[in-house]
Amino acid sequence: MKVDFIIVGSGLAGISFCEQLKAHDKSFVVFDDQSQQSSVVAGGLYNPVILKRFTPVWKSKEQLQMALQMYRNIEQGFKVKLDYKIPVLRKFTSLEEQNNWFAASDKPQLSGYLSTKLIKNTNACIEAPFGFGEVLQTGRIDVKCLIDTYKLYLMKTKRFLNEEFNFNILEIHNGGLEYKDIQAKYIVFTEGYGVHKNPFFKELPLAATKGELLTIHAPGLNMDYVLKGPVFLIPLGQDLYIVGATYNWDDTTNDITIKGKEELLTKLKTVITCPFEVVNHVAGIRPTVKDRRPLVGQHSVHKNMFVLNGLGTRGVMIGPYVAEQLFNFIEFGLPLENEIDIKRFQ
């Protein structure tokens, strides 16, 4: 089999790059043994503001534009619903936080994202005496539906190999690559934290940040917006809500923990007062980088080998943007932005 690209990994980074290949009529196959679960703990929220500090996300305008177009294309092509428009409300804990919000909303980079209207709390089940600020241009991508739909498409088109990629049998030539019976021009590694086992890119400074999420059933909550307080509360419909997320830099397993569950429940109980039931608990490892920028680029020796990784907690937003950057670099020789190029660590 001859293809233009081999892709290793089918999470948000892999799907984003596959969409670039499809748009440019490039042939490809995807390897994934389902060992990485960072997308499992992706709440799927796209939000152009860092709500801890009231600052804009890097390249927020460009990211949003490209991401939303990609999800529209997938929705139309596969006849699925992925993008759910929903406001994000930031719970204020003091008058000082209110003042900081309104000061930030005057900044040019944030004026289109931060509403200047103070929203009073009318929900008896929520503790918010200082009210909320609303973030504009927000929503939720159904990441599970996205990944399941895309995997099915790859399988139907005979582009998916459900197996671990064996680095030892990859043959590298000046003119291309060979793997078993596959000949390819290029290979792109998008395997998330699994890159620490990758002999070609394992030196990259990718950290493992374990995250845990709960799903609760809370019939009395009646909340039709995302609430950001000590935790995120994301409505899914039918009285179900995602509660997340934890951050653990020491545990690199995908196992759920009692400690993670208790941390989320303790924080949740400072926000809502109504009865609820935990109906699901998941964990996964997010691939994160110390400077909060993705890892994108070319191997220093093997020029037909590339990496697309480190999307962190905002993968649904940043994935499509950096995937286009990498494709344009490979196919058209356009330079990568310095902030994402892996050369910054070499």
Q: Report pLDDT digits (tens) over 280-295.
A: 999 988 888 989 899 9
What are residue 238's phi and psi, to 5 degrees? 55, 35
Residues with Cβ within 8 Å of 234's Cβ and at least 6 positions away in sequence, in order, are 43, 44, 45, 86, 140, 226, 241, 242, 244
Residue range 17-35: average pLDDT? Answer: 94
- The predicted pLDDT at position 9 comes to 94
pTM: 0.94
Please give the full DSSP string across 5-72, using - where no structure is assigned: EEEE--SHHHHHHHHHHHHTT--EEEE--S---GGGG---EE-SEETTTTEEPTTHHHHHHHHHHHHH
Residue range 327-335: average pLDDT? Answer: 98
For residue 81, which of 19, 142, 16, 14 has the smallest C-alpha distance?
142
- The predicted pLDDT at position 43 comes to 80
pLDDT tens, residue by residue, 141-195:
999 999 999 999 999 999 999 999 999 999 998 889 999 999 999 999 999 888 9
CATH architecture of the domain with residue range 2-44+144-205+291-345: 3-Layer(bba) Sandwich (3.50)
Write the class of the CATH domain 208-288.
alpha beta
Could you tell me the two tokens for 132? 């909320």
- The predicted pLDDT at position 36 comes to 61
Residue 38 pLDDT > 80, yes or no?
no
Domain(s) of CATH 3.50.50.60: residues in the chain: 2-44+144-205+291-345
Residue range 310-327: average pLDDT? Answer: 94
- The predicted pLDDT at position 264 comes to 97
Domain(s) of CATH 3.30.9.10: residues in the chain: 208-288
